[in-house]
Amino acid sequence: MDNNRHMDDSQAPAARTVAGLSLKGRALRLLAAREQSRAELERKLAPHEESPGQLAQVLDELVAKDFINESRVVDSVLNRRASRFGAARVRHELLGKGLGAELVLDAMQGLKATEVERAREVWRKKFGSLAADPAERAKQMRFLAARGFGADAIRRVVSQSEDD
């Protein structure tokens, strides 16, 4: 009988953790997984808000303690995405996170400076050789465009213009 009681006690905290997790606890759990913007947390946590203003108060506290930092969110996205995607795709992701326009603009300036090199590396990993015919060239161009690279970068990479 003592064995059953012990088993019930060990299961109770897990059930409380899932069902009764506080708003702040949920926010911290999300932030532990990866950097999140305030807007992302608002979207994800709004259904769990028990009283009006509670979510804003929790998020204000997390911002004050620097648990939520938009500059770190930008850096995180750039570190995860910049090597595989073009500036347009990264910009779209940053704007989708509800980040400030000035932060996004600053990030884009840095990305556009390396756009051709990054596009060339993505192209090299996927294709590795010049297109044999116009159809293959178009396929390579569409691939890079879907990754968010600009037209100038795509043209330079697919035509292998090394004078950039």
Q: Which of 41, 75, 34, 33 is nearest to 60 (CA)?
A: 41
Residue 13 has pLDDT above 50, yes or no: no
Backbone angles phi, psi at 120, to 5 degrees: -65, -40
Mean pLDDT, residues 53-62 taken together = 94
Residue range 22-68, CATH number: 1.10.10
Which residues, 6+ apart, have CB-to-CB distance to 16 below 8 Å? none
pLDDT value at residue 160: 79
Mean pLDDT, residues 94-119 taken together = 93
140 neighbors 131 (Cβ within 8 angstroms): yes
Both tokens assigned to 158? 């697919």
Q: Measured between alpha carbons, how far is 60 from 138 in angstroms, rounded to an integer?
A: 49
Residue 161 has pLDDT above 60, yes or no: no
82 neighbors 118 (Cβ within 8 angstroms): yes
Pick the CATH number of 115-164 from 1.10.8, 1.10.357, 1.25.40, 1.10.10: 1.10.10
Domain ranges of the chain: 22-68, 69-113, 115-164
Both tokens assigned to 107? 């990030």
pLDDT value at residue 15: 32
Whether 115-164 and 22-68 are alike in CATH topology: the answer is: yes
Which residues, 6+ apart, have CB-to-CB distance to 157 below 8 Å? 116, 119, 120, 123, 144, 149
Residue position matching structure tokens 């648990």: 67
Q: What pLDDT digit, counting tens, does each position of 32-42 carry?
A: 999 999 999 99
Task: Quickly count: other Cβ atoms within 10 Å of residue 111's Cβ.
Answer: 21
Both tokens assigned to 100? 């400030």
Q: Measured between alpha carbons, how far is 157 from 121 in angstroms, rounded to an integer?
A: 9
Q: What angle do CA 130, 123, 71 make, to 5 degrees?
A: 160
Task: Quickly count: other Cβ atoms within 10 Å of residue 110's Cβ.
Answer: 12
Q: What pLDDT digit, counting tens, does each position of 69-91 carry?
A: 999 999 999 999 999 999 999 99
